[in-house]
Structure formats: structure tokens, C-alpha cells
Structure 1
């Protein structure tokens, strides 16, 4: 964390004490008309370094260690100040300076250094500015919530703006109403959305979680765990990592390290989410040390590490000579950054021998290059001397990076934000030609609280050509970069941008990632890693939860009959659409074939052949009767009714072809009505024949009144009246609810039956019922007339024909109702053909036999003689 402050002319001169009761922290300062002061977060950190020797009396000693990578944050501040001082367009004729202190990751030292920034000149006197040219205008600092809140507890009394450069949970500040804070990085919660989308994108549902053991880590887990559950992700383990370890806590620390090592080496988890700070990486790297620091286990440890923005890949102390190859292929959410022209060249000029006021640089040099500078009064250590030939660019990535990191980029933008705010404030007073605070319009008279109205909503383009904008809440509106870590055996690494978090994108599409450019850990052989509790459930099966386990752990169960799963890891199987059916593997649907009874198939050919045969047979009978129309046997049985019956039977046989053709609007509309009318005419003709026989014999009685009905008039009226009633039923049926073609998708599992829907079932059965009534009436009349003289009597033949007709249609109903699709049509066609054939055979074949083969019996004398 950096505490940057803009300092200005002397406010007052007081006599200050000559002594300072506190240890003076590390400081880097540069004088100027305006001073930018800052505090480096975690730059200095005390740890125990053990020196091993043959002399057992040598005890471990404590030396101050430095996170050398974080010195880039300091240098980014200095570089931004240097650029502004050299730019005549920003704060002309004003030289910026800065003060930077170290917080030592300690609350007491954070308070102390904050007070130093406010009040110290050469000696520290709280609430007094002694011989000082400092006037604090803004603070840039707070890489974490704790440090920022400690700083704000002091500076908020003075309304001094604090620009943080860490990705923090901003609601923590909002609830405490600390209004002086500005956030140069989008709030931490946006990363949670990206993490969920990343896990979804790669289908990682079984992950491990490491979180720093503090309030930030607990808040992260409280927010993240419900999000993971809601999105189908489970955590195999959750481990909390301590920030600092004291000597008395070493047994507990080694136990934690052992647990971490077990999780990393033995867990099936391949995706591990890490939330914390830079010490977290050191913890995880050290956790693998007890396994065997010389073996290749660490290198071969194949995991996908998902890092949050606060984490940097850093090593320090005795880990300097280690590598980070276990993190090869890691995916990190990093603060957005871009290349700033001149920064790398600026870093190349840094040398501890040339920068005299940088109180951090010598410690950085000693720690990074494992060397030492001569120190007066101390016994010379047996180590190599630090020289000016050592360059920062020679250091590996874990110790120092030459590319500007996201946090350094935020500091760079923060310095420019303060400078632009000062420029706007100055220009506003100059344009109004009035004094600020009733004093002369001059930058030296500005007060820190005046910057707030200019920092909120500030917008400008930085030197990299990117727009920097803070909204009215003082929050940055940018996003995050997604980087892929590529490590090398020489301890160096490279960050490759593979995507970004675009907070302005539509909901659910904030994460943009290039899958093809990601380099995975070598253990995965550049194949997309899987991180699931089970092996994938392949298509054709579904995930069945295991009682007592997390919902991400399940058994793979084959889909039941009639259902499929066409993707891996489906929660349930589903049915195909109505026009499809499952394949044998139950992982896809096949389009059902459209089937209907046609002339091309065996059944259709058979029925059509039978219908044609009977049609031609009926035609032959009709021709025979016409040819022998003047013979007694033809004339005795009413030639009109005979011809009518034979023609209607021909139409009955032909009507079956409507059932054998492809169902369509015309065929469905006509086939049942044609069948009903033609059969009604045929049965009406049979009924008329029977009635004619009865009336003819009754008319022979003396004085009978029925003689006038003997002849064509009775027959014609009977046929017309009986048939007309059926015609009326059909007209009413077709006008109200006519039949129509439809697809039956359920009768057959693998076929769609194209059939005719009868429209109104009521009218359909009315047609059949009326034919049944006519047939029964004909049967009864014929049965009663069966004992009349044989030579003139057709009643016996009609009785047999009606008996056969009724038997066929009585059997039709259960057969028709118990079948579906083509079978139903075949049953009806068979009933039409068999009933028509029964009428033809029982009534006409005996007569044809006499006409053709026994013409001697076709004589009037034979017809008039009695038995």
C-alpha cells in the first residue's frame, strides 16, 4: 500500500522537540513545491532467517526482509511524478515531490507512518508541522482493507482524499461511511461473477478453495460459497491460510502445511480457487517443500490455479532460489493494465548508488541480489558486495517484473488523477478571478478537502491512451484482465493476457476469454483439464445423486426407456419430441418415418388385389344378368333392384381404394361418406328385394290391397327413402365436423401414422349404426319370408347374406377399437370387402350358376312348379 500525499508550503512554524520517541520507518522522499507522500504496503516484513553453520552455538537471527516486487509500486509513483513534472500542460511551473513510507503490515506502524506524513519534518511531533513545507493534499494507498481503514481513521478527520489501488470489498467502507475513499480498481465483488463464469465455461464443478485467514477471507467465503452452490459448483476442501506465523505457532503451521500438501498431492480436484494476498503464494509454495524439495513432484503437480486480483506471484526470504513451476498455467484475475511508454527504461536507470533518498532501495537490492552494502559500526558479513552493475531487469519474475503490473498501473493513474484534480481546481479559481479561501489564487493555498468535488467524476486520457474515469461514487468503471502464467525453469515467468472482465457487457457475458491461447500445466498435455467429483456421465445416462454426498458427486444411471440425454453430465433424461424416437444408445433422437396403408406394401397390395377381383367379379355378374335379362330367373327377381344392388356393390369394392391411398383432405373427406352411402344403397336394395318378395306373395291372395304396390314403385321408394336418410346423416357430418388428415405420433414408437381423423366420432358411429339397422331389418324380413315357395323366393339367400353381413360388422367393432394406425384401416377395408363379398356370393352366385351352367332350370315351367 502506498500513502501518497501532496504537500505544499509552510502553514506555521513552531518550536519542536529535538528527540523522536519512535523508531523512524523506511522513507523515500523527493522535495518539491507540491509533495506526493505515500506508504508502501508490505514492503518491509520481519521474518526469521536461520543461518546454518558447524558451530552449534550460533543462534538464528532476525533480519528485515523485503518484498522486492512491491518496490515497483514505489517506482511507478516516482515515474508518474517525474512525467508530470516534465509535462508543461499539467501544473506548469510547479514541481511535485513525494514522501513514501512503509506500513510494515502492522497497525501500529501504519498509524505511525500516517502521522509522519501529516506532521513530521525532521522530527515527529503529533499535531504540529515543524519547519515544514508539507501540506498533505491526497493519499494514494491501501492495497488491502485493513491498511486502508487504519489510514482513513486518521486522515478522515482532515477530509484528505485517499485513493486505494487494491480490489477491495467496497461495501465495507460504505457501511462505515468513510466518504474520503476513492477506488482506482473495480470492487472485488465483480471478480466473483467472473470466477463463476470461468468455472461454468470450463465445466469445473469440483474445486478446492484456499482463503487467507482474516476478515477479508471470511467475507469472501461467505459470499462465494452460496454463489458456487447456486451455480452447481462444489468445494472438495476449504483451507484457511494464516498471514503471519510466529515461532510459537510453528507446530500448528506445520500441521496446516501438511494438510495443504495432502490436498494438493492426493485430491482429485484439478481447479483450485485461491483468495488472499502475496503471502498466500509463499504459503502454497512452501507447502510442497516437505514432500521433497529436490524431486520432480512439484513440477509435475498438475493443477489449475485460479487467483484473485490481490494475489501476486512473489517469493521472498529463503524461497528466493525456488521456482513457481507448480503454478504454470495459472489463470489470474488481475487489475487491468497496459504498457506505459518509458516505464521500462525508467526502471533500467534505477541504482541504489545513484538514488540517495530512496530508503527502500538498499534493502531491495540486498534481498533481491543476496548481497550487502557496507554498514559503519557493524561487523562485515561474509557475503558478496552489492555493486552498481546489478540491474533490476536481471531479476526473475518472482523477485521483480519489468512490465508494469496492474497495481502499479493503478498507482500511476491515481497520481495523474490527483494532478488533474489539482489542475481543474486551480483553473476554476483562475477563471473566476477570485481567491480560494479568501486568499490569493495560488496552488500553495489549496486545501485537501477541496479536491473531493473534482475527483468525483474526473475523466481524462492517460499517457497510454486509455480513459481513466471515476464515477460520482468515486469508483473506477474499468474491468479486470484475465492472465495466464507461463513459467520457465530459470525462475522467470511471463504473464499472457487471455481475456478480460468487461463490466459494461450484458449480464452473464461479462467474461471474455480466448480458450485457444491458454497454456495449461504440462501434466495435462495441453488437453482441457477436468475438475469434477466423478468421471463425466456420458450421453445416454444421467446424474443420480448419492445420499450423504455433495450434489456434485453422483452415480451415472442409464436413461429409462423412451428417454435420452444428448449431452454429458445431464441432471435428468428427457423425452424426444413427438416426431422423433430414441436411438438404441439413448443419446439422440431419430425422426419417425411417416407411415400409412399404401398400395406399395404387402398388406395394401393384397387388399387392393382382392378389391379389384371382387369388382371384376361383380362386373361379370352384372354383365351376365344384363345379357340374360329376359330369362325367367332374372325377371322374377326384379331386374331394377338387381342392377342397383350390383352397381352399389361395385362402388363398395371401389370405395376401399379411398382407404388404401395416402390420407389427404379429399380422401379423408370422401371415404367414410362414400362407404356409408354406397353400403346403404346396397342394403336398401336387399331390403327392397325382400319386401318385394313378401308383398308379391301376399298380393296373390284374393282381394289383397297390396297388388298396386307390386312393381318398381315399391322398390324404388324403398331404396330412395332408406338411402336418403343416410345421405342426410353424411351431409350433416361433413358440414359440421368433417374428417381430416392427421399424424398419429403415439401409436407406434418409431413411426408416425398418417391417418384420417373422423372429425365427429358420433356421426361416424351413426353411419355404421344406420347400416346395422338396415341390415337387421333385411335379415328379419328375409328370415320371416324364408318358407315361401323356393322357385320365386330369394329370402333364404338374403337371410344368409345378411347373417354374414351382420357377423362381419359385429366383429368389426371390437377389432376396430383394439387396433391403431394402419391396422385400423386394414380392419375397415377387410370388413368392407368381406361384407360386400358376402352379399355378392350369397345372393348372386347361385343364380349365376343356374344361368351359366344349368340353363335348363332357367325355364318358366321350372319356376312355376311347386315342390
Structure 2
């Protein structure tokens, strides 16, 4: 159609190009299209005509100016696309200009098309140097955003870069980490899949295979791709494929049964109504361009009269194929003649698809964008009136400059281009769902808006139907997720999504699914049995509540009571010879010190505190020295008493009661001095021992200064050995009641206990160290009280006849 300004259009109305044979002897046949009509592309071309007629009838946009159009069929072929682009660039004028400047009076102001990315690239390389704007409605290759290579290219459909990111987020959203990938072997498929694989890699998704094919490839190539899909273990297949190529692949897959696959589709085929006939793909999901309503377009598409159809060869071919009849006189007897009663509304075809428009709206917006650019170039607004001069001759580069500034709203949709010529990316998430009749319907189940903040672009608002009509999300992973308490270990030679789950080592946890590493618990924490939570380690110490603590407490209290009872017996019989003969003052002091020895063991039981740690060792050291000092004093008294019986001996006056008290005080004072120095310089203190047991904390008293502790023990041992030596020397003295024998046995037990205590103390773990120390205290204390006082108490209580001075002076051995 002629007009003041002409807009070009290129659509893939036929599916194939006629194969031309070159014999180099005759003129090659002209390029021409063949195959069946692509009724969807025919609708696109009709939508362009509708938009131009609507603009021509508008009083606001380009008033008084008539737009014309030249629409060509490229049949999805690069050679023909380039051929028609040259025709659009050269114009149809037959005048040859000899001047320096070539007139552009016959050239188009802009071009709408092409549907495919590869033909669009070829077209852009031709018209780019002439600054002719090209606005594609369906070419989505991200490569076309490169303004250095394609300076005059615009599009109303989002770039595949946005769709690739959206598809990767969709796959990640449903937990699929093991997928297959197929693509068209074209600029659209190769660039789109490259963008998707890059986005998928960032999301941690692994690809089992990535296959490419094209509809003109030999069938063996298509079969090989189909076999790869059948044999694969990946349940999910992402297809970045053009509609024509996808139809060939699905036809091949439908030839023989194969395992069901969850298809994830790019908008090129997943929203194509012609694809819905492949029912084994039910449950497929993908992104589609937003649906829209274009008032009046449906009536325009369906309002075709036989006369109008007969005037257009393309419409004639479409009409005859759709209704299986021939316009005009039939050429064969078995063919019917179209009688004019055919009804397009009853036709099931993408041309008459009753769903809302998607790509068709992209064509509609492309035409309006060009019209606005021309309007801004030739129209002037004075006051409230817009005046357009149709005689103004503008060049395409002026339209190109205005295209970059286009910003308008049409039918509720905003149209603008960024610096790369791309619109704002918005998609609908579509799902192939079976209807009650068994046919496949395209259902919108969500939205994706790339202009929203990260993490908020994606939204699902309806239930999805999956492969095999399931309502459960299918699983597609190389390895099942590793539960908390384990970590992932990659399988050698396989992608990162294939791994084994190894339990966390001792003392470490992982609290997240698919954790790559385990991490140790904090110092005072330990994992639970599942190794997914760190719990505070149980604190262990010798408690009054446990059996061992109760037993030791009972013996401690029992020993103290025994010492008190013995002291009571001695006090009650303090005038008896057996009590008086064995230095009653030292005996009572010894019983008092033994009572303290028994009771000091109680300071070792219970929660260690700063005061209990200092008290337990010092009290133990001082009371034991007091005890040994008393025993040593009694031993010296026995020896001195024997020496005093010798003629001329005056020894006892040097070791009377005052001297005995001084001896006890002196020996005890030395221990007090040692303990004081220990407490001042480096006292014992409570600490948490984390080294003995990994899984629990031992609350113990640290020695502070080990020298101080061993000095206290060493001093006790020194006195014990000295006392033992003196007792051995006095054991055969000719006295009826020789106490030295009893002291010898008590010191023998005392030394034996403390000699065995040293290795036991060093090697005992945790609270058993304290138990060993208490046991040594109790054993030596019981040894002293039983060896020294038990025989005397027995005589006092049960053999009173022996508790006489005469018996004591008897030469017979006791």
C-alpha cells in the first residue's frame, strides 16, 4: 500500500525456501518460498496492516499523513531475508540518479521484523549502514543488544539474556540441579543457551548434555538428539528452540515411546498454539510474552471476504489450505471450489487463535513505535494543535534518532527503549495443562518482572500441573541432597552436582542441607548424635548427687564420727591407765586432727569454686601434718620414755608436755608457711578442662603452682617416713603396751597409700582424680585411727581387766 511514508515489514510467512539447483549452464532460478503457510506469521503481517490502518484513521498520531507499507515473506531464510532487505533499502523507484547524493525517496522509513534472530542479524547488517531503523517483534538473541554491531536495531520483545536468567531462576526455584539442554543451531538458540548455561552455572545447576540441531539437518541428526533425551537420567529438559525446530524434534520423539520428561521452554515455542498438539509434553512450563487485548484486531483478522482473499496470493494460499478448496474454477475433478460460505471463526488455526495476543502485540507496538518516531520528526505542536507536513522529506536517520527517544503508552502498555534498544523485560510464566476434554491449554500461572529488585522478580500465583499430570514437583538431581550432619564430597570426574554425602567428623557439624563443609563446634560445645546442632558440653565434677560422691561422703562423715566417738571413749576413760600411759594430750590432739582429715575430704566434693579450691589442698596439707606431727610426737615419747628408764638418763625433762606441744606446733607451722607461700604466689583456682574428654567439660581445681602442691605432699611424706623409721626403731622396746608397734603399722599403711596415690593421681582422668585424692585421705586416716586407737578401745570397752597399771607393767607381751 502506498503512503506518504512507507514502513517495511518482513515475516516468515512460508516455512521453507525452495531448494535451487545450480548447474552453472543456465540462469539460476529466482529465490522463492515453499511449504505450508505459517498462519501465526500471517497473523503478524495482518496485525501490522491493522496497526497502520488504525494510525491512518487517527487524529492524534500523524494527523493528515498516510502511512504505507511493503510486506515481504522471508520464509525464515537468510538469503531471502537479505534479498528483501536490499529491496526495502533501494526502494521501488525506476529512476536512476547520476548526482552525488542518492535520493531516498523510495526507501522505507523503518522496517518491522524479522521473527527470527538469525535473519534479523543479516537484515541489520544490511540496513544498519543506511541508518534505517529496524524494530523486531520476535528476535530475542542477546547479541542484538550490541549497538556497535547493530546500531539501528530495536525490539519490542525482551532480550534472551533476561529470559535466560529467568529460566535459570525457575529451574533453581524448583530444586532441579541435574538437567538436559537442547537448542536450535542458530543465533537464537546458540546465544540463548550460552546465556542460560552461564546463569545456570552461577545458580549451581549442572547440565548432563547440551545438544543442538536445526530443522534442515538430516533426520539422523534429529534422531541422535532424540535418543540422547531418551537415554538421559535428567528428568528436566530445557529447550531454547525456535518453534519450527521444536516441531521437528517433538515429531521425532513421538515416533516411539520414551520416558516422560519435564519440558522447560523458551517463549519461542512454549507459547506457540501449534505446539499444543504434542500432548506428551503436558506439564511443560516456560516464559511467554505478556498477553494483551488489541481492540478491533480480532474482527479485522476474521473479516476476510472471498474477494479480498482472491486479490492476495498469500491469503489465497492460506484460504485454500485452511478450507481444502480452490478459489475460482477447479483444476481437478476431485477438488471442491470455494463457494464463499467458508467461516474463519470455525477454523482451528493459530491465525484465529482465540487466546489473548502475545507476539502479535509486539508487532502492533513496533508499528506504533515507528509511527511515533515519524510523528516526532515531521510534526510540530503549536498551542493545542498538532500540525504535520506530509511534504517534509525526512531521512531514515532522523527517524532513527527519534526512535531512541520514543516513550508512549498504547492500550495500557508502556513502550520505550533503553540504550541497547531493548524494552523492559516482563514475562508470564505459562504451564501446559490438560483440559477436561483432554486437549492441552496454555495457562498463565505466574509473572516475572526484571525491573523489580533482586529476589522479588519472580512470583507464582496459581497451581502448576507437572509431567504425567502430576501435582507433585518432579525430582531431577544427580545426587540426593545431603542432610544436615553430612557434607558433600564430589564424585571424581563428574559435575559438581554429583556427589557423595559423608558424615561430619567428630566434633564438627553441618546445619544446612547440601553443606560443602562441616565446621567445628565452639570450644565449650559438642555435636548431638545427628551432628547438626552444637549443644553445650555437660560439665562434670564429683557431685554429692552421684553414687561415688555419696559413698565418699558417707565414709568421710563416718570416719569423722568414729574419731569423735573414740575421743568420747578416751575422755570418759581418761583416768584409766591405758589412756594415761599413751600420752592422752597427744591422743586427743591426734583424734582432733583425724576428725579434720576426714572432714576436709568433703571440700573435694561439689562444684569447684575459688575458695573451695584454695581450701581443699591447704586444709588437707595442714590437717595431715598436724596428724603426722601428733603421731611423731607419740613415737618420740615412746623412745624417750625408754631412754629415761636407763640409769643416769635425764632425757624426759627435755621432752615433756611443753616440748611435745612445741614439736607439733613447729612441724605444723612449717606446713602452714608452705601453704601460705603457695596461696600468695600461685593459688589453686577452678578451671574448665577441655582436653581430657572431647565431649564433656571437667570442672576441676587447677593446682596453680605444681611446686606448691608437691611441696605440701613432699613435706607430709617426709614426716611420715621419719615417723615410720622412729616407730620401727621403737617396735621391740620391752614394754607391755608398746604403742610403737601400732604406729609402725599405721605409718606402713599411710606410706603405702600415698606411694600408690602418686601414679594413680597422675593417670586418673577427670573427676576420678579427685576421687583418688579423697580415697587416699580416707584410707590413710582410717589406717591411723584403726591401727592406733582400735586396740586401745577394744581393751577399754571389752577387756577392762587388762586396763590396769599392773597389767601394763607386766613383762608379758601384750
Q: TM-score range by the shorter chain?
A: 0.7 to 0.9
2:685 is paired with a residue whose SS is coil
The correspondence of residues 583-602 of structure 1 with structure 2, limited to 5 A, is 583=529, 597-602=542-547
Which position in structure 2 is the counterpart of 1:758? 701
2:446 is paired with a residue whose SS is strand
Relative to structure 1, is the Cα distance of residues 864 and 462 closer, same or farther in structure 2, using a 3 angstrom cutoff?
farther
Are the aligned partners of 2:428 and 2:448 in contact in 1 as well (CA < 8 Å)?
yes
1:551, 1:518 → 2: CA distance? 29
Relative to structure 1, is the Cα distance of residues 141 and 275 closer, same or farther in structure 2, using a 3 angstrom cutoff?
same
Which position in structure 1 is the counterpart of 2:746? 801
Relative to structure 1, is the Cα distance of residues 692 and 64 closer, same or farther in structure 2, using a 3 angstrom cutoff?
closer
Q: Does the alignment pair 1:767 with 2:709? A: yes
CA deviation vs aligned residue, 1:570-593 (integer Å, no higher than 9, x gap): 76778788745554x888888876
Which position in structure 2 is the counterpart of 1:401? 353
Relative to structure 1, is the Cα distance of residues 818 and 771 closer, same or farther in structure 2, using a 3 angstrom cutoff?
closer
1:310 is paired with a residue whose SS is helix
How many residue pairs were aligned? 786
Which position in structure 1 is the counterpart of 2:620? 679
TM-score (norm 2): 0.82
Relative to structure 1, is the Cα distance of residues 323 and 217 closer, same or farther in structure 2, using a 3 angstrom cutoff?
closer
Q: Does the alignment pair 1:414 with 2:369? A: no
1:472, 1:289 → 2: CA distance? 44
Are the aligned partners of 1:39 and 1:100 in contact in 2 as well (CA < 8 Å)?
yes
Aligned-pair distance for 1:287? 0.3
Aligned-pair distance for 1:726? 1.6
2:474 is paired with a residue whose SS is coil
1:117 is paired with a residue whose SS is helix
Which position in structure 2 is the counterpart of 1:19? none
1:607, 1:670 → 2: CA distance? 21
1:395 is paired with a residue whose SS is coil
1:377, 1:563 → 2: CA distance? 86
2:354 is paired with a residue whose SS is coil
Q: Does the alignment pair 1:153 with 2:153? A: no
Which position in structure 2 is the counterpart of 1:104? 75
Relative to structure 1, is the Cα distance of residues 220 and 420 closer, same or farther in structure 2, using a 3 angstrom cutoff?
closer
Are the aligned partners of 1:393 and 1:402 in contact in 2 as well (CA < 8 Å)?
no
- Mean CA deviation greater in 852-861 or 712-721: 852-861
CA deviation vs aligned residue, 1:274-323 (integer Å, no higher than 9, x gap): 122111221122203433xxxxx47xx5211111233355587xxx9x92
Which position in structure 2 is the counterpart of 1:56? none
Please tell me the root mean square deviation across aligned C-alpha atoms, in Å.
4.5
CA deviation vs aligned residue, 1:511-558 (integer Å, no higher than 9, x gap): 6253961111226x3322122346777788776665555555566778
2:226, 2:707 → 1: CA distance? 81
CA deviation vs aligned residue, 1:96-154 (integer Å, no higher than 9, x gap): 44332222222332123223334444879899999997663332323333222222223
Which position in structure 2 is the counterpart of 1:615? 560
- Mean CA deviation greater in 627-636 or 68-77: 627-636
- Mean CA deviation greater in 717-726 or 454-463: 454-463
Q: Does the alignment pair 1:738 with 2:685? A: yes
Q: Does the alignment pair 1:528 with 2:473? A: yes
Aligned-pair distance for 1:330? 0.9
Q: Does the alignment pair 1:194 with 2:166? A: yes
Q: Does the alignment pair 1:182 with 2:128? A: no
2:705 is paired with a residue whose SS is helix
Are the aligned partners of 1:563 and 1:582 in contact in 2 as well (CA < 8 Å)?
no
Relative to structure 1, is the Cα distance of residues 778 and 33 closer, same or farther in structure 2, using a 3 angstrom cutoff?
same
**Which of 374, 386, 390 in structure 1 is aligned with 2:343?**
390
Which position in structure 1 is the counterpart of 2:248? 283
Which position in structure 2 is the counterpart of 1:723? 672
Are the aligned partners of 1:599 and 1:660 in contact in 2 as well (CA < 8 Å)?
yes
**Which of 460, 464, 471 in structure 1 is aligned with 2:418?**
471
1:441, 1:795 → 2: CA distance? 140
1:787 is paired with a residue whose SS is helix
**Which of 114, 117, 120 in structure 1 is aligned with 2:88?**
117
**Which of 159, 163, 166 in structure 1 is aligned with 2:138?**
166
1:836, 1:558 → 2: CA distance? 52
**Which of 767, 778, 784 in structure 1 is aligned with 2:720?**
778
Q: Does the alignment pair 1:364 with 2:313? A: no
Which position in structure 1 is the counterpart of 2:22? none
CA deviation vs aligned residue, 1:378-418 (integer Å, no higher than 9, x gap): 65761563746422574256x65333454333333333333
Are the aligned partners of 2:404 and 2:421 in contact in 1 as well (CA < 8 Å)?
yes
The correspondence of residues 625-774 of structure 1 with structure 2, limited to 5 A, is 625-631=570-576, 633-634=578-579, 642-661=587-606, 663=607, 667-693=608-634, 696=637, 697=639, 701-702=649-650, 706-707=654-655, 710-734=659-683, 738-740=685-687, 742=688, 747=693, 752-753=696-697, 755-759=698-702, 761-763=703-705, 766-774=708-716
2:449, 2:33 → 1: CA distance? 46
1:324, 1:352 → 2: CA distance? 33
1:483 is paired with a residue whose SS is strand
Relative to structure 1, is the Cα distance of residues 703 and 221 closer, same or farther in structure 2, using a 3 angstrom cutoff?
same
The correspondence of residues 543-558 of structure 1 with structure 2, limited to 5 A, is 552-553=497-498
Relative to structure 1, is the Cα distance of residues 477 and 636 closer, same or farther in structure 2, using a 3 angstrom cutoff?
farther
2:146 is paired with a residue whose SS is helix
Which position in structure 2 is the counterpart of 1:303? 261
Aligned-pair distance for 1:324? 1.6
CA deviation vs aligned residue, 1:770-818 (integer Å, no higher than 9, x gap): 2243123222233234333467875544444344334334434444444
Aligned-pair distance for 1:684? 1.3
1:739 is paired with a residue whose SS is strand
1:441, 1:746 → 2: CA distance? 97
1:621, 1:711 → 2: CA distance? 22
Q: Does the alignment pair 1:846 with 2:808? A: no
Which position in structure 1 is the counterpart of 2:285? 331
2:80 is paired with a residue whose SS is helix
2:625, 2:486 → 1: CA distance? 63
Aligned-pair distance for 1:830? 3.0
Are the aligned partners of 2:434 and 2:441 in contact in 1 as well (CA < 8 Å)?
yes
- Mean CA deviation greater in 534-543 or 763-772: 534-543
Which position in structure 1 is the counterpart of 2:550? 605
2:609 is paired with a residue whose SS is helix
1:841, 1:42 → 2: CA distance? 118
Are the aligned partners of 1:695 and 1:706 in contact in 2 as well (CA < 8 Å)?
no
Are the aligned partners of 1:396 and 1:493 in contact in 2 as well (CA < 8 Å)?
no
CA deviation vs aligned residue, 1:575-634 (integer Å, no higher than 9, x gap): 788745554x88888887666544444333333333332232233223334444455555
Which position in structure 1 is the counterpart of 2:463? 517
Are the aligned partners of 2:736 and 2:808 in contact in 1 as well (CA < 8 Å)?
yes
Are the aligned partners of 1:676 and 1:768 in contact in 2 as well (CA < 8 Å)?
no
2:157 is paired with a residue whose SS is coil
**Which of 725, 729, 732 in structure 2 is aligned with 1:787?**
729
2:202, 2:379 → 1: CA distance? 52
The correspondence of residues 19-58 of structure 1 with structure 2, limited to 5 A, is 29=1, 31-41=2-12, 43-46=14-17
- Mean CA deviation greater in 468-477 or 705-714: 705-714
2:267 is paired with a residue whose SS is coil
**Which of 164, 181, 195 in structure 2 is aligned with 1:209?**
181
Are the aligned partners of 1:457 and 1:474 in contact in 2 as well (CA < 8 Å)?
no
1:710 is paired with a residue whose SS is helix
1:136, 1:348 → 2: CA distance? 25
Are the aligned partners of 1:44 and 1:102 in contact in 2 as well (CA < 8 Å)?
no
Aligned-pair distance for 1:421? 3.6
CA deviation vs aligned residue, 1:688-717 (integer Å, no higher than 9, x gap): 224434665559553799458614233223
